Amino acid sequence: MANFGAKRIYMQYTDLQPKEVWTHFAELNAIPRGSKKEEKAAQFVADFGANLGLEVLRDDIGNVIVKKPGQNGGENKEPVIMQAHVDMVHQKNADTVFNFDEDGIRMYVDGDWVRAEGTTLGADNGIGVAYILTLLKDKTLNHPPIEALFTIDEEAGMTGAKNLGKGLLTGKRLLNIDTEDDEEITIGCAGGIDTNVHLNFRMEETPENTKAYYVSVKGLKGGHSGMDINLGRGNANKILFRLLFQGYSRFGMRINTVDGGGLRNAIPREAFATLVVDIQKTGEFEKHLLHLGEAIKQELISTEPDLQISWENTANPVEVVNVTSQVNIIRAIYSMVNGVYRMSAEVDGLVETSSNLARVLIKDGEFTCQSLQRSSVESSKDDIANSIRACFEQIGATVENGGDYPGWRPNPDSDLLKQGIEIHRQVFKKEPKVLACHAGLETGIITGVYPGLDMISIGPTIKHPHSPDEKVKIQSVQDFWTYLISLLETL
């Protein structure tokens, strides 16, 4: 598919309101900005501020801070920090032709939603960036001094927030524009830690009298590994290894390659394996895939109605994984914790601790596995990470933890929260849901650099972030804009 480019994207959204928000979102989405490759997007917001004649700062890690004085009655008020991240999660459907390093996101209107063609939309957190850019440009609204903080690399380790420069911000109140439901005000979040596994092993010659298969698990919804982890969705990696679990003992199955999942914070939607089976047992093997596949589909019928488990014959590979390593890897993957580990005993309906088996790769004598553990309780986060470590250290793999970041402890007595609730009642004509979430937000890290911040997280309604089904609600974008400018007027 051809890249539509920035002009085509802009033309699609001139009729949506608020026009400036959608225009800035489209401009941002024309820039490739995957995590750790978002420098062009960061420079875009820095240039945006500079072109307005505003003070622009860059810290050593690359975060951008744009400072705008208060206006129209807000000149002498205390500054407000407004924060969003410029990077986005890159996920696409297997049949979508798209280069995230070069192409702009191809957006389209679908009823009351804006979506992307076969990829993530980038509303997480591009729509938050767009709101802040609109506020920086506007000259009509009443608002206090704004310190706009645009962080980098939120989705792949929060390195922007972790390395945020000191002494650059003076505000004592922070609005994080990264919550994904306009009915909610978030006041706490989970912390997280990555568990990365590596094992080198010996490949050996493919046995004679075998038949090769390419096995696919596709059609899953995927989604955000924090916000969606409690929805009972399938994990393509776990499903694939369930299919392979008894492959050697029953059918003489030998693995050549496995390629499953993608980013650490996205529930895997697809997984694939190339393998061979004893030619005398191919009929039994195909029946096994059929019967177990149907059973798995029935288990997940309500949450994953489009799950596809299929196989086809392919050319025999030259080499396969040695038997001992194959059995050890399959057992370790099969036994590792995935999904909800513990629900909160204090907050009804809140996932306390979880794990997402995000990525599995077996190729050319090397096995790697990436997973992300989240918890609002530090000791529980360590516990689940250690349980996964134990799975893989028992097979001789090297296990490393990284990307550790703290949670954000709720403050129900926050003055900013009280103001946020009151304005929500006025604008939306109903009570907001005040809650902590299982996703990771940068707020807990930022307050470690700037202690004592009064913070809430808010935003318009976004569904299915971190997956190609991501979409943002058009009416919500307009309603939230009314809420945001009303809130700023009172601060």
pLDDT digits (tens, 9 = 90+) for 114-145: 999 999 999 999 999 999 999 999 999 999 99
Selecting among 147, 154, 228, 469, the annotated active-site residue is 154
Question: Where does the pLDDT of residue 345 fall: very low under 50, low under 70, confident under 90, or very high at 90 and above?
Answer: confident
Question: Where does the pLDDT of residue 474 fall: very low under 50, low under 70, confident under 90, or very high at 90 and above?
Answer: very high
Please provide the average confidence, as pLDDT, over all residues in the chain. 94
Residue 156: pLDDT over 90: no
Residue 251: pLDDT over 50: yes
Given a contact cutoff of 8 angstroms between Cβ atoms, the answer to whether 178 and 125 are in contact is yes
Domain final residue, candidates 378, 403, 428? 403
Domain final residue, candidates 381, 403, 425? 403
Given a contact cutoff of 8 angstroms between Cβ atoms, the answer to whether 66 and 56 are in contact is yes
Residue 106: pLDDT over 60: yes
Name the residue type at position 104: G
Do 118 and 228 sit in the same domain of this protein? Answer: no
Do 227 and 316 sit in the same domain of this protein? Answer: yes
Residue 9: pLDDT over 90: no
Residue 310: give the domain boundaries: 193-403
Do 39 and 83 sit in the same domain of this protein? Answer: yes
3-state secondary structure 31-64: CCCECCCCHHHHHHHHHHHHHCCCEEEECCCCCE
Do 320 and 361 sit in the same domain of this protein? Answer: yes
* Listed residue (480, 478, 333, 466) closest to 13, CA to CA: 478
What pLDDT is stored for residue 265 in this prediction? Answer: 87
Selecting among 27, 38, 59, 87, the annotated active-site residue is 87
What pLDDT is stored for residue 3 in this prediction? Answer: 37
Do 247 and 110 sit in the same domain of this protein? Answer: no
Q: What contacts 12, CB < 8 A, 6 or more positions away?
A: 26, 107, 108, 109
Question: Where does the pLDDT of residue 103 fall: very low under 50, low under 70, confident under 90, or very high at 90 and above?
Answer: very high
What pLDDT is stored for residue 349 in this prediction? Answer: 86
Residue 299: how many CB atoms within 10 A of its CB? Answer: 14
Residue 4: pLDDT over 90: no
Residue 270: pLDDT over 90: yes
Q: If you average pLDDT over residues 281-286, what whole number do you get?
A: 97
Q: If you average pLDDT over residues 16-20, what whole number do you get?
A: 95
What pLDDT is stored for residue 14 in this prediction? Answer: 66
What pLDDT is stored for residue 5 in this prediction? Answer: 41
Q: If you average pLDDT over residues 407-431, what whole number do you get?
A: 95
What pLDDT is stored for residue 8 in this prediction? Answer: 45
Name the residue type at position 110: D
Do 184 and 239 sit in the same domain of this protein? Answer: no
What is the domain-level CATH number for residue 466?
3.40.630.10
Do 392 and 477 sit in the same domain of this protein? Answer: no
Q: If you average pLDDT over residues 333-361, what whole number do you get?
A: 93
CA distance 45 to 85: 11
More confident position, 32 or 156: 32
Residue 335: pLDDT over 50: yes
What pLDDT is stored for residue 346 in this prediction? Answer: 76
| Known catalytic residue at 87 | yes
What pLDDT is stored for residue 13 in this prediction? Answer: 62
Residue 88: pLDDT over 50: yes
Do 121 and 167 sit in the same domain of this protein? Answer: yes
CA distance 321 to 300: 31
Do 235 and 341 sit in the same domain of this protein? Answer: yes
pLDDT digits (tens, 9 = 90+) for 382-394: 999 999 999 999 9
Question: Where does the pLDDT of residue 57 fall: very low under 50, low under 70, confident under 90, or very high at 90 and above?
Answer: very high
Q: How many domains would you assign to the chain?
A: 2
What pLDDT is stored for residue 366 in this prediction? Answer: 98
| Known catalytic residue at 101 | no
Do 387 and 416 sit in the same domain of this protein? Answer: no
Do 283 and 416 sit in the same domain of this protein? Answer: no
Question: Where does the pLDDT of residue 439 fall: very low under 50, low under 70, confident under 90, or very high at 90 and above?
Answer: confident
Residue 395: pLDDT over 70: yes
Residue 7: pLDDT over 80: no
What is the domain-level CATH number for residue 335?
3.30.70.360
Residue 15: pLDDT over 50: yes
Domain final residue, candidates 355, 376, 403? 403
pLDDT digits (tens, 9 = 90+) for 143-154: 999 999 999 999
pLDDT digits (tens, 9 = 90+) for 182-228: 999 999 999 999 999 999 999 999 999 999 999 999 999 999 999 89
